[in-house]
C-alpha cells in the first residue's frame, strides 16, 4: 500500500464507527493541510470529534480487534477534552482523535468542514477542516510548541499562499483572535505579501 491507501485503510473503520454512532467529526492536521495543497507524507491522521463518555464502549466494539485502543485513555481524553490515539495494526498507521473543546472556534470548524476525497486505489470521502480553519489550528499548534516547528509554519504559509484572494480574511482575523494567534496570523500575512 502507499501512504494514502494506508490512511484510507486505517481511517475507514474509524469513520464508519463515528457515522454509526452519530459522532460529528472532521479531519485536521497534516492530512488537512496536504488536502489543501501543503503536501507532505505522514504516518498519522488527526481527527477532531464531538465524542462523549457514553459513546466509548460502542465505539470500541465498532472498531473490533484491528486497533490498539485504551478505553481508560479515551475516557480520560473525553473528560479533559484532549486527545487519544488508535493504532491500526494492519498498517501501523496512527489515528489521533482530538476531542472538541467546544469553543466557538471549534464549533465553527465543525460547521465549516468541507467534503474531500483521499486515497489513490481506494477512495474515501471525508469531512476536512476548511483551509482557513486548517491555518488557524496549525498556528495554534505552532504557538503551543513554542513556535519551533518549521514544518507547521511551512504548512500554514503554503495553504495561505495557495488560497490567495479566495481566503476569507475577515473569518481568519476573527478566528485567530478567538484562539490567541492573531499576532502569528499578522506575521504570516506580512510574509505572504
Domain boundaries, the chain: 3-128, 131-191
Helix (H, G, I), strand (E, B) or coil at 133: helix
Calpha distance 7→34 (Å, rounded): 13
pLDDT tens track for 32-77: 988 888 887 777 899 999 999 999 999 999 999 999 999 999 999 9
Report, at the CATH architecture level, how domain 3-128 is classified.
Answer: 2-Layer Sandwich (3.30)
Q: What is the pTM of this model?
A: 0.92
pLDDT tens track for 74-117: 999 999 999 999 999 999 999 999 999 999 999 999 999 999 88
> Quick one: pLDDT band at residue 3, thresholds 50, 70, 90?
low
Which residues 6+ apart lie within 8 Å of 1 measured at CB? 9, 91, 121
Calpha distance 114→111 (Å, rounded): 9
- Give the model's pLDDT for residue 183: 96
Calpha distance 87→6 (Å, rounded): 12
Q: Quote the strand ranges of the chain, DSSP E.
A: 25-28, 44-49, 67-68, 83-88, 93-99, 114-118, 124-128
Q: What is the mean pLDDT of residues 132-146?
A: 94
Which residues 6+ apart lie within 8 Å of 102 measured at CB? 50, 81
- Give the model's pLDDT for residue 44: 85
pLDDT tens track for 114-131: 998 887 777 788 999 999
Q: What is the mean pLDDT of residues 168-190?
A: 95
Amino acid at each position: 500500500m502507499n501512504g494514502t491507501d494506508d490512511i484510507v485503510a486505517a481511517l475507514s473503520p474509524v469513520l464508519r464507527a463515528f457515522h454509526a454512532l452519530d459522532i460529528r467529526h472532521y479531519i485536521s492536521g497534516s492530512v488537512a493541510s496536504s488536502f489543501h495543497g501543503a503536501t507532505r507524507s505522514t504516518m498519522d491522521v488527526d481527527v477532531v470529534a464531538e465524542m462523549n463518555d457514553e459513546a466509548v464502549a460502542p465505539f470500541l466494539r465498532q472498531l473490533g480487534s484491528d486497533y490498539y485502543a485504551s478505553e481508560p485513555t479515551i475516557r480520560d481524553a473525553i473528560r479533559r477534552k484532549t486527545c487519544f490515539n488508535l493504532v491500526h495494526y494492519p498498517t501501523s498507521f496512527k489515528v489521533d482523535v482530538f476531542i472538541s473543546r467546544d469553543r466557538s472556534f471549534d464549533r465553527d470548524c465543525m460547521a465549516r468542514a468541507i467534503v474531500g476525497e483521499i486515497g489513490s486505489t481506494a477512495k474515501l470521502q471525508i469531512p476536512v477542516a476548511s483551509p482557513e480553519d486548517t491555518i488557524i489550528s496549525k498556528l495554534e499548534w505552532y504557538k503551543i510548541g513554542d513556535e519551533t516547528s518549521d514544518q507547521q509554519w511551512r504548512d500554514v504559509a503554503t495553504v495561505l499562499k495557495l488560497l490567495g484572494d479566495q481566503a476569507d480574511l475577515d473569518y481568519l482575523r476573527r478566528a485567530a483572535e478567538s484562539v490567541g494567534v492573531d499576532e502569528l496570523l499578522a506575521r504570516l500575512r506580512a510574509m505572504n505579501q
